Chains A and B, each alone.
Chain A
Amino acid sequence: MNKDKVLSIRDLSISFQTSAGEVNAIRGVNLDLYQGETLAIVGESGSGKSVTVKAIMGILSGNGKIKSGTIDFTSRKSGEEIKEELLSFSKKEMRRRINGRRIAMVFQDPMTSLNPTMPIGSQIMEGMRYHYKTNKKEAYKKAVKLLDLVGITEPEKRMKSYPHQLSGGMRQRVVIAIALSCDPEILICDEPTTALDVTIQAKILELIKDIQKKTGISVIYITHDLGVVAKVADYVAVMYAGKVVEKGLSEEIFYDPRHPYTWGLLSAMPDLDTNDEVLYTIPGSPFNLLNKTEGDAFAERNRFALNIDYRLEPPMFKVTETHYAATWLLHENAPAVSMPEALKERIKRMGEEVSLLGGK
């Protein structure tokens, strides 16, 4: 299958100037997003996942500085391919041409991203009227359609409701409707379900998947919940301390993880089928980006760290055509270390479950 690249990030580095010193939040990130696919970026807080997408949207905070890198945005309108470099745009241009119109974003907390003094209908129409100068009547019609699309019953009545009259799940649906109002090519969801309950979370994720099927939009998810990733992602990038440490197809990351950090993340997730007394944990606390490191930033928390990890940062090793991981363990001279037993067992059990499902 020939996949079209929509977004390609190359060698992106961003630092923030703070009173405590320079924080290197992103240190050379390479990512690709393909047409109609879903990319999930996973990592702990402070791993730089939010900063990466904020750079795409051009909404970095004032003290942020892009040190190097490019973000290429390719769009296809009527068969023609137009390539644009997002980082070369000014803030004004981004707002006028890209934000909301071509790339839309859904934020974590629906209560803070909606305007409490405006009915939701007007908030959905706002983007269309600004970007496309749609007239009121058409915008209204489209807004009703969008509300229907995101699964809100009696959309005509709801147009006049205010955000506080809706429940958390409904509010997030409205935010998604706003994001979709200008038919964007990319939808970025920054922890879209963290503030929601499990039952509603499942529904929202199913909704986004459904919309993706209908409209062919490309989606970037940011989350720290691997369960969410398993449900939605085609492609996964695991970030740690401002770097992508492992990326690959979702199956590759979940069934054949190679980086010790990914092992840790997967093992730390409580599993409903195990009866272990103690949960696996990644020792220590997340890396402080204020400190400059030599070698691998994860080395200190890594049980499998080699000597070289403390001296030299590992490059991306290729596992398969699509699967890459940055760990010295994959070097040909490295000792053979495999993932923890418990995780191996879990993956084996998942494999059995899958074959069971397939056999039916």
Chain B
Amino acid sequence: MEENRKPLLEVKDLKQHFKLGRKFSIKAVDGVSFQIYPGETYGLVGESGSGKSTIGRSVIRLYEPTSGEVWFRGTKISGKLSPQDTKHLRTNMQMIFQDPMACLNPRKKILDIVAQGLDIHHMYTTTEEREEKVYRILDMVGLSREHANRYPHQFSGGQRQRIGIARALIMEPELIIADEAISALDVSIQAQVVNLMKELQKQTKTAILFIAHDLSMVKYISDRIGVLHLGHLVETGTTEEIFLRPIHPYTRSLLSAIPKPDPVSERSRTAFTYDLKEMGIDYLSGTEHHVEGEHYVLGTDDEVKRWLGEDFLQ
């Protein structure tokens, strides 16, 4: 990979704390930095409560970050923004949500749901143009024209998720944040949607921030992966680096927990347990260590040395 390519999105030391009363605050995200380059897919994985959704929401400005910076195409987008910047951001960054039923307005037709972004930003001159654009996008995500005049409840879960994708794509964004976009779907439908997203990405060259807890799906779709735990990015690297040579014990425990469709080996296998306290790992004292290529791991010098020495056999 070239050294000089410019990141599309850059998150620098992002912190997101939520106040719970006067004395307590939850550190949902505590110092996370990563970059996304144009046209690539970055997978963010971690268990629930690790802060992966919070990062997605902070990036798209649904939350005001406690500290840290978010840069998009060379402009800082955290903190106060001018109206032009806001507009630029809202057209170029889109989000796909987890529950396809809850995120579509049940009283609107698909045509209007998908065209809503166009309406807000006045991106068409005639009604025909508006319809034409919607039809083209629906076609891209594998729905037909007749579907445009139906209501969300008339669709199955997989189709609804396609509508969610169509709505995000119609703005021709450079970055899509997919927050657990396939978790609510059936296995066979998940595969369809993942294939569709990969195919669309090839056509449109959109970058995707793919947030999920299912590592096996993340492997299929991502170019690079970041592993989050308790608000810290414990390991990041290309998909091969993470899957072939996981360094951090948390990543290893995640990998060992993935069930395989193989009854004989699966029955004898037990998951590798990870206990922060038992292992004496303190994320705050750790620093980012470079392993190889784009592979970084969080830990103190001693820890990283020890982990590198351990042989990981799945």
Contacts and interface: CB of A to CB of B under 8 A. Distances in A.
B162 to A, nearest CB: 11
Contacts of A268: 187-188, 190-191
B188 A197 contact: no
Interface stretch (A11-19, A198-206, A303-311, A324-332): A198-206
Contacts of A285: 156, 158-159, 189
A241 to B, nearest CB: 13
B212 to A, nearest CB: 11
Given A281-B188, A281-B195, A285-B158, A198 B258 contact: yes
B261 interface: yes
A168 B48 contact: yes
Interface stretch (B87-95, B131-139, B268-276): B268-276
B271 A357 contact: no
A350 interface: yes
B179 to A, nearest CB: 16
Given A168-B48, A271-B216, A278-B195, A265 B187 contact: yes
Contacts of B198: 277-278
A201 B215 CA distance: 13
Interface string A245-281: 0000011001000000000111011111000011111
A44 B214 contact: no
Decide if the interface of chain B is mainly helix, strand, loop or mixed: helix
Nearest to A355: B264
A353 B262 CA distance: 10
Most buried by B among A199, A233, A264: A199
Decide if the interface of chain A is mainly helix, strand, loop or mixed: helix
A284 B252 CA distance: 36
A208 interface: no
Contacts, number: 128
B188 A230 contact: no
B119 interface: no
Interface string A28-72: 000000000000000011000000000000000000000000000
A285 B214 CA distance: 22
Contact of B47 (A200, A264, A278): A200
A286 interface: yes
A279 B195 contact: yes
Contacts of A22: none
Most buried by A among B191, B213, B255, B273: B191
A353 B266 CA distance: 11
Given A278-B195, A281-B191, A202 B263 contact: no
Contact of B191 (A201, A225, A280): A280
Interface residues of B, number: 45
A252 B191 CA distance: 24
Most buried by B among A206, A270, A280, A354: A270
A270 B220 contact: yes
B116 interface: no
Contacts of B268: 357
A264 B188 contact: yes
Given A199-B254, A270-B220, A254 B262 contact: yes
B263 A250 contact: yes
A227 interface: yes
A165 to B, nearest CB: 14
Nearest to B202: A277
B194 interface: yes
Interface in A199-246: 199-203, 206, 224-231, 233
B100 to A, nearest CB: 13
A198 B257 contact: yes
Contact of A45 (B49, B186, B253, B264): B186
A281 B262 contact: no
Contact of A272 (B216, B271, B273): B216
A230 B220 contact: no
A230 B260 contact: yes
Interface in A167-215: 167-168, 197-203, 206
A23 interface: no
Contact of B188 (A44, A272, A278): A44
Nearest to B158: A285
Interface string B58-95: 00000000000000000000000000000000000000
Contacts of B263: 229-231, 233, 250-251, 254
A27 to B, nearest CB: 20
Given A251-B264, A278-B195, A281-B188, 14 more contacts: A44-B187, A202-B270, A203-B271, A203-B273, A225-B187, A227-B261, A265-B188, A270-B191, A286-B156, A286-B186, A350-B262, A354-B264, A357-B264, A357-B265
21 contacts: A44-B187, A44-B189, A168-B48, A198-B259, A202-B257, A228-B259, A230-B260, A230-B261, A230-B263, A230-B266, A233-B263, A266-B261, A269-B261, A271-B260, A277-B198, A281-B195, A282-B188, A286-B188, A350-B264, A354-B262, A357-B264
Q: Which 3 A-B pairs have the closest CB atoms?
A: A227-B259, A202-B271, A197-B47
Interface of A: 44-45, 167-168, 197-203, 206, 224-231, 233, 250-251, 254, 264-266, 268-272, 277-282, 285-286, 350, 353-354, 357
